Amino acid sequence: MKLTSLLATAALGLGLATAAVAQDKTKVGFVYVGPVGDGGWTYEHDQGRKAVVAEFGDKVETVYVENVAEGPDSERVMTQMALDGADLIFTTSFGYMDPTINVAKKFPNVKFEHATGYKRSDNVSTYSARFYEGRAVQGTIAGHMTKSNIVGYIGSFPIPEVVRGINSAFIHARKVNPDVQFKIVWAFTWFDPAKEADAAKVLIEQGADVILQHTDSTAPQAAAQTAGNVITFGQASDMSEYGPMPRVSSIIDDWAPYYIERTQAVMDGTWESKDTWDGIGAGMVGIGEISDAVPADVKEAALAIKASLADGSYHAFTGPIKKQDGSDWLAEGETADDGTLAGMNFYVEGLEGDIPQ
Amino acid sequence: MDLSAINPVLLIASLMVAATPILLAAIGELVVEKAGVLNLGVEGMMIVGAISGFAITVESGSPWLGFLASAIGGALLSLLFVLLTQVALANQVASGLALTLFGLGFSSLMGQSYVGIKPPQMGKLDIPFLTDLPFIGPILFGHDPILYLGIALTAAVWALLKYTRVGLVLRAVGENHDAAHALGYKVVRIRIMAIMFGGACAGLGGAYISLIRVPQWTEGMTAGVGWIALALVVFASWKPWRALLGAYLFGGVTVVQLNLQAAGVAIPVEYLAMSPYLITIIVLVFLSRDKSGAPASLGRIFHATH
Amino acid sequence: MIVLEKRPQPSQTWSMATPVVAVLATMFFGGVLFAALGKNPIEAIMTIFWEPLFGEFSFYYRPQLLIKGAPLVLIAIGLSLGFRAGIWNIGAEGQYIMGAIVGAGVGLAFYPLEAWYIFPLMVIGGAFGGWIWAMIPAILKVRFGTNEILVSLMLVYVAEQMLASVSLGLLKNPEGYGFPGSRNLQSWDSAHNAELFAGSGMHWGVVTALIAVIFAYVLLNRHMLGFHIRLTGEAPRAAKFAGVNPARLILFCLGAAGVLAGLAGLFEVAGPAGQITIDFNVGYGFTAIIVAFLGRLHPVGIVLAGGVMALTYIGGDIAQSNLGLPSAAIQVFQGMLLFFLLALDLLTNYRIRLASKEVA
């Protein structure tokens, strides 16, 4: 048995060597948690991959594996890509965090990029998007547009990412409309179109005339369209097929600029481990075309917020903001630090209900 | 908390919609199981129905043609199950699971060019005067035609099983296939018809999700509804009207819990989500006391020996 | 007119030959499918079946076969005992989840203590979690005659909700920045089900699977209880006369399946997976049912079947990456393999012959 393990170690070393040998083509691997046809999260990552191909043409070779379960399967797929000579591997789900770190340890010459996680090492970078900036724009439009003063919000699981989005949207809706109320339902699933449709219908029946969603399917859009005077926002992808009503705008995950930049860095030999958390400014969060269903002055206000977020003159969490229980969080003019935002597990003042545990 | 925000009329109307895919699939499976066959491939047949219906609707522009196609798609897939279990006499549990695996993969392949497309819509029933009636109008007369088809199918299956000779034979085959065979009934032929009917119904149920309830195509979009349909058949103790009631109850649990959440009631969501399954188990326990429960030959392989 | 005639004894030749024929048939039709998708069929088939075993990087994939195959075999062995006796536990997925939850929970209760007894306690916890979950359908069946197929299936969904619940609440990593999922047991020596030899893929789950195979083989062939199991499945009435106690048999078969599935869950969560998360379960419990049937409910057959399934998973992922095949095509390919294996089993138990007009 000792011999086998020795052999294995030696061979792994060999694998490293193969990977390290300079090739004319830069090989980039992508590990996806869902199918590329999910029309949302994985679809947008794959669009990013295609953009890399379009940018570099023959100089790059991309490979991907879809529907990779988190855990040992993902570890195997990453290892396989590294063995097959990938220079750079993007792992695009939070649950790939520990597997990515494990595999990266074995392949110090391969660069890894893990989406939405917080563990890094010399050859592992992390990247994520400040979707909450997009939520600020949505919240502004929602606050102006609602007539019933009830905004419905479909959450997936009660995790910081989703809670952050709810808070950001709420703060900005309140800013332009002090009477606005949020109704939040948790679907407890990442993906179940039928349930998402039900959730949207329920919110509409309870008086919501704006639906925000943190789930990926277009089911809520269709429910809003059937209901009539309800507006929605595209999530993850533009969902422009539902414009100009009910979809009045969208948050688009645009990974292309980042993927191109990092691939270029590997080609140039300038790649370094870092933590990227980009927003509207860097183009990672796209705001889809605001449709004509939105009055000109509202559109203007939304674009103004977008512009100030983009140039960094405004932070979506700027004090004074209190927590839901009335305690102080941010003082006048103070902005939230990334650490607090990353682990956000509280509602801000004015939101009703509790975050489920 | 604001319970007054919940509108009971709309709640009932939307739980009817939520219940329809489960009901359609369950009615089909009920007939299959009555004939003594356990087909665990419902999820696979539903998703194939969902994409068949979606593709044909988009290509032809007619949701009606789409629904027809979904029934055909589901029935065609069930033919694979027929080949395995009725011709090759393979184990039904394993064959059903294999069918689901195959169906999920096959539907994704078929659907690759249909992601992100909005299908043509099927109109809703709108009878002047009747649909506008307060309270019962939206509940009874304000839905899409397929929802009524589901209820009609329930009635038809109930009548068929209870009053017709075909129903009698079907039940005989399911209770004791050897005796039925001895009486001269074509056990295999009857089961094949039942399985295909089940496939067609599951296909319709799938298309109801992809064409009406959501409506869009994404891979794996049935997200486990087929398994709930299987639970429902048992819950209903193989009786069509109880299946209807059960479908409303199952659909209702989802809709009601979402309603309670939206109204600001703090509820443990995951515990409510498991309640239909727990209720089914409790019902099973009560059912197994009286012996009118499961068809006696359920899941057993039939081979005619002379 | 073609008729089927039941063989008095299952054919030895065919029971060996059908899996081979089935794999060949799958290769052929799978090749047609891959060609239709515009890929080189021979290359694709080679990638799936050859690459993991004998390809350039087989030193890495062979241990992976053990990691992927062990839970399948472990669960399938337990299921096969019941299936032989006509007891249909299809809820192994739920038992697997509960084994992982209870086992990991027992371990995490001691965190961050380092002690030799933590891992053994977790193993007991895992076995207990799976066992108790399997006892629900077992006791209901014994006490009320409730159908175990449906109860065990329902309990899978209950277990999945429990998993979501503990991932977000009870077992959530307090240092995980609010993300769902437990602490990673891989980074805690006392709880880590590590590889026994680095790079070999051998962890306690693999060892347990091998023990279970041997145990099942001996039980079925050399032990009275094994005889009773087989007798009940093949001739229930004879079993009654032979004095088999059906209640005891149900409790044993479901219990054994639950224990093994629970152990599989525990070894997975403490080893390759490392942590409890919302999506911890990846369908091993359902795939194991197929593995049990592909292995003809025979311990040795199950090991082979588990190997073949693991191979198609690993080879399938390689084919996706190297050839750009969609994962759906791999799923269809696996479905085909199952269809052929199931359908051709016919030849083992029946003889096909041409007959003059006779009504079947």
3 state SS for A224-249: HHHHCCCEEEEEECCCHHHCCCCEEE
In a domain, C335, yes or no: no
Question: Per the domain annotation, does B295 fall within a domain?
Answer: no
Per-residue tokens: C49: 């079946």
Quick check: is B133 in a domain?
Answer: yes
Confidence at residue B293, expressed as pLDDT on a 0 to 100 scale: 64
Chain B residues within an 8 Å CB radius of A237: 116
Best C48, C60, C186 member to test A by mutation, with max A CBs in 10 Å, is: C60
Q: Chain B 152-211, CB below 8 Å of chain A: which residues?
A: 209
Which one is predicted more confidently, B272 or B153? B153
Do A114 and A39 reside in the same domain of the chain? yes
CB distance from A219 to chain B under 8 Å? yes
**CA angle (A124 as vertex; C196, A99 as ends), nearest 5:** 35
End residue of a domain, out of A100, A129, A158: A129
Mean pLDDT (whole number) for C15-38? 88
Q: Is the pLDDT of residue C356 over 80?
A: no
In a domain, B294, yes or no: no
Whether C6 shows a pLDDT value over 80: the answer reads: no
Short-list A353, B97, A40, CA closest to C92: B97
Q: Give the count of beta carbons closer than 10 Å to the beta carbon of residue B306.
A: 7
Residues A173, A56 share a domain = no
Do the Cβ atoms of C46 and C217 come closer than 8 Å?
no
CATH number at C300 reads 1.10.3470
Give the position of tokens 């009874």. B140
Q: Is B139 a residue whose pLDDT tops 60?
A: yes
Range among B61-75, C212-226, C283-297 with highest mean pLDDT value = B61-75
Q: What is the mean pLDDT of chain C?
A: 88
Reported as a single tens digit per residue, the pLDDT across B218-229 is 888 888 889 889
Can you give the CATH number for the domain in which A34 is found? Answer: 3.40.50.2300
Q: Examine the domain organization and report whether A91 and A187 are in the same domain.
A: no
pLDDT of residue B199: 97
Residue C30 within any structural domain of the chain: no
In a domain, B146, yes or no: yes
Q: Residues 6 or more apart from B122 whose CB is under 8 A from it?
A: B63, B64, B144, B145, B146, B211, B212
> Which residues on B lie below 8 Å from C155 (Cβ)?
277, 281
Contact predicate C314/A76, CB 8 Å: yes
Ranges of H-type helices in chain A: 2-20, 41-56, 72-83, 97-106, 131-145, 160-176, 193-205, 219-227, 256-268, 296-310, 338-342
User: Which chain B residue is nearest to residue A240, measuring alpha carbons?
Assistant: B116
- Is A42 an interface residue toward C (CB < 8 Å)? no
**pLDDT tens-digit map of B246-280:** 899 888 888 888 888 888 777 777 777 777 788 87
**Which amino acid, B2?**
D
Contacts of B18 in chain A (CB under 8 A): 194, 198
CATH number at residue B108: 1.10.3470
Same domain, residue pair A90 and A154 = no
Find the CB nearest A357 among C60, C168, C198.
Answer: C168
Residues of chain C with C-beta less than 8 angstroms from the C-beta of B26: none
Round to whole Å and give the CA distance between A4 and B193. Answer: 57
Of chain C residues 250-309, which have a CB less than 8 A from chain A? 268, 272-275, 277-280, 282
Would the pLDDT of C71 be above 90? yes
pLDDT in the model for residue A28: 96
Q: CA distances (Å), A325 to each of A316, A351, A352, B161, in order?
A: 21, 10, 10, 60
Whether B306 has a pLDDT exceeding 70, the answer reads no
Triad A266, A112, A238: Cα angle to 5°:
90
> Would you say residue C19 lies in a domain?
no
Spatial separation of the C-alpha atoms in residues B257 and B87, rounded to whole Å: 45
Separation of alpha carbons A190 and A234, rounded Å: 16
Cβ separation C150–B230 shorter than 8 A: yes
Residue C149 lies in a domain: yes
- Is the peptide bond between B295 and the residue preceding it cis, with omega within 30 degrees of 0? no
Tell me the CA distances in angstroms from C250 to C90, C142, C151, C156, one per residue in order: 14, 7, 14, 19
Structural domains in chain A (count): 2
Q: In terms of domains, do A117 and A106 share one?
A: yes
Chains that touch A (3 or more CB pairs under 8 A): B, C
Q: What is the mean pLDDT of residues C272-299?
A: 89
Touching subunits for chain B (3+ Cβ pairs under 8 A): A, C
A241 contact residues in B (CB cutoff 8 A): 116-118
Contacts of residue B118 in chain A, CB cutoff 8 Å? 218, 222, 241-242
Q: Tell me what pLDDT residue A22 has.
A: 47
Asked if residue A153 belongs to a domain, the reply is yes
Work out whether the CA dihedral C68, A109, C177, C123 comes out positive or negative: positive
d(CA A76, CA A91): 12
Question: Quick one: residue A269, left, alpha or beta (phi over 0 = left, psi -120 to 50 = alpha)?
Answer: left
Q: How many CA atoms lie within 13 A of B222 on its CB side?
A: 34
Determine the distance in angstroms separating the CA of C343 from the nearest CA of chain A, rounded to an integer: 28
Q: Which residues are CB-neighbours of B100 under 8 A, at least 6 positions away?
A: B40, B41, B42, B43, B44, B226
CB A112 within 8 A of CB A103: yes
Subunit partners of chain C (3 or more CB pairs within 8 A): A, B
- The Cα of B251 is separated from the nearest Cα of chain A by a number of Å equal to 10
> Which 3 state secondary structure label does DSSP give B1?
coil
Domain that holds residue C147: 40-324
Residues A120 and A143 reside in one and the same domain: no
Per-residue model confidence (pLDDT) at position B304? 67
- How many domains, in total, are found in chain C? 1
How many angstroms away from the CA of C171 is the closest CA of chain A? Answer: 11
Q: Is C104 contained in some domain?
A: yes
Domain count, chain B: 1
**Tens-of-pLDDT digits for all 357 residues of chain A?**
344 444 444 444 444 444 444 457 899 999 999 888 777 889 999 999 999 999 999 999 999 999 899 889 999 999 999 999 999 999 999 889 999 999 999 999 999 999 988 899 999 999 999 999 999 999 999 999 999 999 999 998 888 889 999 999 999 999 999 999 999 998 887 778 888 888 998 899 889 999 999 987 888 888 888 888 899 998 888 888 887 888 999 999 999 999 999 999 999 999 999 999 999 999 999 999 999 999 999 999 999 999 999 999 999 999 899 999 999 999 998 999 988 898 888 999 999 888 886
| Domain residue limits at B194 | 3-117+127-287
Evaluate whether residue B297 is within a structural domain: no
Task: Give the C-alpha distances (Å, rounded to integers) separating C256 from B13, B36, C83, C87.
Answer: 47, 29, 12, 12
Query: Which chain C positions have a beta carbon within 8 Å of B39's beta carbon?
Result: none
Residue C168 lies in a domain: yes
The C-alpha atoms of residue A224 and residue A244 are separated, in whole angstroms, by 12
Q: Judge whether C149 and C257 are in contact, CB under 8 Å.
A: no
Query: Predicted ipTM?
Result: 0.88
Shared-domain flag, residues A168 and A314: yes
Mean pLDDT of B159-168: 93
Residue C2 has pLDDT above 80, yes or no: no
- The partner residues of A29 in beta bridges, in order of sequence, read A63, A89
Neighbouring residues of C206: CB distance < 8 A, sequence distance ≥ 6: C66, C67, C70
Inter-chain touch C144–B285, beta carbons under 8 Å: yes
Residue B253 belongs to a domain: yes
* Domain boundary, last residue among A129, A158, A174: A129
* Tokens 């220079």, residue located: A87
Percentage of chain C beyond pLDDT 70 is: 98
Q: What is the mean pLDDT of residues B166-190?
A: 90
> Are A69 and A177 contained in the same domain?
no
Q: Establish, for the pair of chains A and B, how many residue pairs have beta carbons separated by less than 8 Å.
A: 115
Chosen from B83, B84, B101 to mutate, greatest number of chain C CBs within 10 A = B101
Whether chain B has a CB inside 8 Å of the CB on C153: the answer is yes
Q: Do B112 and A37 touch (CB under 8 A)?
A: yes
Question: In a mutagenesis test of the C interface, which of A98, A191, A345 is the best target, namely the one with the most C β-carbons within 10 Å?
Answer: A98
In this structure, is residue A26 part of a structural domain?
A: yes
B40 neighbourhood in chain C, CB within 8 Å: 90
Q: How many CB pairs under 8 A join A and C?
A: 121
Is B301 within a domain?
Answer: no
Which of A71, A98, A129 is the C-terminal boundary of a domain? A129
Q: How far is B225 from chain A (nearest CA, A)?
A: 9
Domain, as residue range, for A242 = 131-252+286-342
In chain C, residues with a C-beta closer than 8 Å to the C-beta of A64 are: 320-321, 324
Q: What residues of B are in contact with residue A201 (Cβ under 8 Å)?
A: 14, 17
Domain annotation covers residue B298? no
**Chain B CB contacts of A37 below 8 Å:** 108, 111-112, 115, 218-219
Distance from CA of C303 to the nearest CA of B (A): 17
Taking residue B227's Cβ as centre, other Cβ atoms within 10 Å add up to 21
Q: Does A95 touch chain C (CB under 8 A)?
A: yes
Within a domain: A349: no
> Residue A2: inside a domain, yes or no?
no
User: B171 is written with which tokens?
Assistant: 């039940």
> Is A122 in the same domain as A234?
no
**Judgement on whether residues A155 and A185 belong to the same structural domain of the protein:** yes
Average pLDDT of chain B?
87
Q: Which residue of B has its CA nearest to A201?
A: B14
Q: Which of C168, C272, C317 sits opposite A71 (nearest CB)?
A: C272
Same domain (yes/no): A90, A223: no
Whether residues A112 and A248 share a domain: the answer is: no
Classify residue B151 as exposed, middle or buried by CB count within 10 Å of its CB (0-12, 13-18, 19+): middle
